[in-house]
A and B are shown apart, each in its own frame.
Chain A
Amino acid sequence: MNVKSLLFGQGTGNSLFGYLVDGLNAAGSLLIFAIMALICADVLSRNIFNQPIDGVAEMVAASIVMIVFLQLASTLRHGRLAQADIFIYGFTVSFPRIGRSLTTLYYLAGAAMLGVVYQGTVPVLMRAIDRNQFFGVEGVFTFPVWPIRTVVVFCAAVTVLQFLVLAVREAICVYRGTPIHSPAAPKAEHTENKAAQQSGEPS
């Protein structure tokens, strides 16, 4: 496997980077399941044993940020980040090169913005480690802040890479003048996308 296929896969998403993105997504999925189990356990414990579990509200509030960042790259990879296709689809059908150039720019803008998230959160992470910052109330429930900030920093970096991968693919299509094949802005890894869809009922 050469560097190119490692990074970009061979059209099926089986790249090392793809496994990383999927793995982060799986971690986020587990976290969603854990939140569900935790809240249910709290409800049962409170009603049956009159003994609520401390810190559930804090843990749920903290988890949601982690879930969003753990699954952000995968959401993007599967073309599920919300965008309006009112204009871009028809335009790309008529002018494939200009339309795809615009799409390339959109991906680059995404990379830049997640880069800002990364850059802005690194000092926040450093401060959290330096000062042993925690969530919650001492004597009741506390939880360190740094693991959450680490997830945000790491996953922001991974999402920057994912945006760049998509931008490079799109730029290659600009170079080749590939026409558009799907109504939304062109999606990467269309096959993978379809596989993930099978969880729903057949329509």
Chain B
Amino acid sequence: EETINLTVGSSHPTTIPWVGMIPNVFIPEVDRILAEDGRYEVNWTEAYAGQLYGANATLTSVGDGIADIGWVFSYLEGSRMPLSQLSAYTPFTTSDPELILDVFLDLIDQQPELADEWEGNNVVFLGGTASDTYDIYTNFPVNDLSDLDGRRISAPGVLGVWLDPVNATPVDGTLASYYTDIQTGVSEGVVTLATGALPARIYEVAPYITQVNLGVVFSGGIAMNLDRFESLPAVVQDAMKQAGAVYTTAHGRDLAERYQSSLDRMVELSADSNNPVVVTPLSDEQRQAWIDGMPNLAQQWVDNNEARNLPAADILEAYMDAIRERGVQPERAWD
């Protein structure tokens, strides 16, 4: 039995569900497959929670071999992975994380330019991660979209543009800053995820949850350094890919369940406090007004990327078609 030394890293702590699934799902699966084969064994060095690199360098750190395997936060890699940003420029497409993971895995498989955003940066894509659907958390009740008019709402990066139709003012921030930002009044609410709002306790300062259901996004994936991957025997390579697929499936299922359970938990935790959580679904016509008011974000994304000679229009079409093929009618046809 030969021992292979591998270092696993992540910018985020294992308390984040999909990072926790690296030691809880991915690694045991690799170990299980290799134990069955019996020829190889991996000696893991695990360094999560930014011990090896921060959130601003997840792709380069795996590409440089600082970690052999790590979670790549493609969502923050707008420059190196412009095509992977697609789902952030196509809100209201779907609220099903398992669907978007399935579609993106196929796209990475079939679109060489999309695959190149991984291999061109010297990493092998093993499994994908997504978000649950985005909602609005505010410290004031939202009965009508006009209640958001002129309000300062925290939203990271391009999510600020999602607020255009309701005329809210986007304030830049991160999951770590929302709580204090809302508490001190810098912003009055936030566009965020139930799975993020629960651990960050956003509901304590912004107990009015309006289920806008802005859609899920593809956020990145677990990846391995390309040189290290190629240095491994074929059976170990296969084990990595198989474990990556198991990881994707487990993560998608977990996300789908976690959205509702996170909302329930927030209601439960805040029940006895001064600010009990109030969950209100946005009415269909209000939601449709938001969808219709969105600027043509996808076209901006296509234009920016066609200027780089990337076939963005084709990829957008393939993406929307893939969703329709799975029997889901996107609420906004971005193509």
Interface residues of A (CB under 8 A from B): 46, 50-52, 54, 56-57, 61, 131-140, 142, 145
Q: Which of A52, A132, A134 has the most CB of B within 10 A?
A: A52
Interface size on B, as a range, is: 20 to 34
Complex contacts, B170 vs chain A, CB 8 Å: 52
Using CB atoms, name the residue of chain B closest to A133. B79
16 more CB-based (< 8 A) A-B contacts, given A50-B150, A57-B172, A137-B78 = A46-B152, A50-B169, A52-B170, A52-B171, A52-B172, A132-B308, A134-B78, A134-B79, A135-B79, A137-B157, A137-B158, A138-B300, A138-B301, A139-B300, A139-B301, A139-B304
Using CB atoms, name the residue of chain A closest to B305. A138
Using CB atoms, name the residue of chain B closest to A145. B79
Q: Per-residue CB proximity of B289-300 to A under 8 Å, as 1/0? A: 000000001001
Main secondary structure of the interface of B (DSSP, over half): mixed
A61 to B177, CA, bound (A): 15
With A51-B169, A52-B172 as contacts: A140 and B158 at CB distance below 8 Å: yes
Complex contacts, A131 vs chain B, CB 8 Å: 79-80
Complex contacts, B56 vs chain A, CB 8 Å: 61
Q: Per-residue CB proximity of B145-181 to A under 8 Å, as 1/0? A: 0000010100001101100000001111000000000
Complex contacts, B161 vs chain A, CB 8 Å: 139-140
A147 to B251, CA, bound (A): 39
Tell me if A139 and B158 are in contact (CB < 8 A).
yes
| 9 chain-A/chain-B pairs, Cβ below 8 angstroms | A52-B169, A52-B171, A56-B172, A131-B80, A132-B79, A139-B161, A139-B304, A142-B79, A145-B79
**Looking at the complex, which one of A46, A133, A139 makes contact with B171 (CB distance below 8 Å)?**
A46
Complex contacts, A54 vs chain B, CB 8 Å: 172
For residue A138, give the distance in angstroms from its CB to the closest CB of chain B. 5
Tell me if B172 and A50 are in contact (CB < 8 A).
no
A66 to B169, CA, bound (A): 30
Complex contacts, B301 vs chain A, CB 8 Å: 138-139
With A46-B152, A131-B80, A133-B79 as contacts: A138 and B172 at CB distance below 8 Å: no
Tell me if A50 and B152 are in contact (CB < 8 A).
yes
With A51-B169, A52-B170 as contacts: A140 and B157 at CB distance below 8 Å: yes
Tell me if B80 and A133 are in contact (CB < 8 A).
yes
Q: Which of B78, B80, B297 has the most CB of A within 10 A?
A: B78
**Looking at the complex, which one of B152, B172, B297, B308 makes contact with A139 (CB distance below 8 Å)?**
B297
Complex contacts, B78 vs chain A, CB 8 Å: 134, 136-138, 142
Complex contacts, B73 vs chain A, CB 8 Å: none
In the assembled complex, B89 has its CB within 8 A of some CB on chain A: yes
A133 to B152, CA, bound (A): 30
In B275-316, the 8 Å CB interface with A consists of: 297, 300-301, 304, 308
A134 to B78, CA, bound (A): 8
Complex contacts, A61 vs chain B, CB 8 Å: 56
A51 to B171, CA, bound (A): 9
Q: Which of B56, B160, B172 has the most CB of A within 10 A?
A: B172
For residue A61, give the distance in angstroms from its CB to the closest CB of chain B. 8
Q: Which 4 A-B pairs have the closest CB atoms?
A: A137-B157, A133-B79, A134-B79, A137-B158
In the assembled complex, B82 has its CB within 8 A of some CB on chain A: yes
For residue B285, give the distance in angstroms from its CB to the closest CB of chain A. 27
A87 to B85, CA, bound (A): 55
A135 to B89, CA, bound (A): 17
Tell me if A138 and B304 are in contact (CB < 8 A).
yes
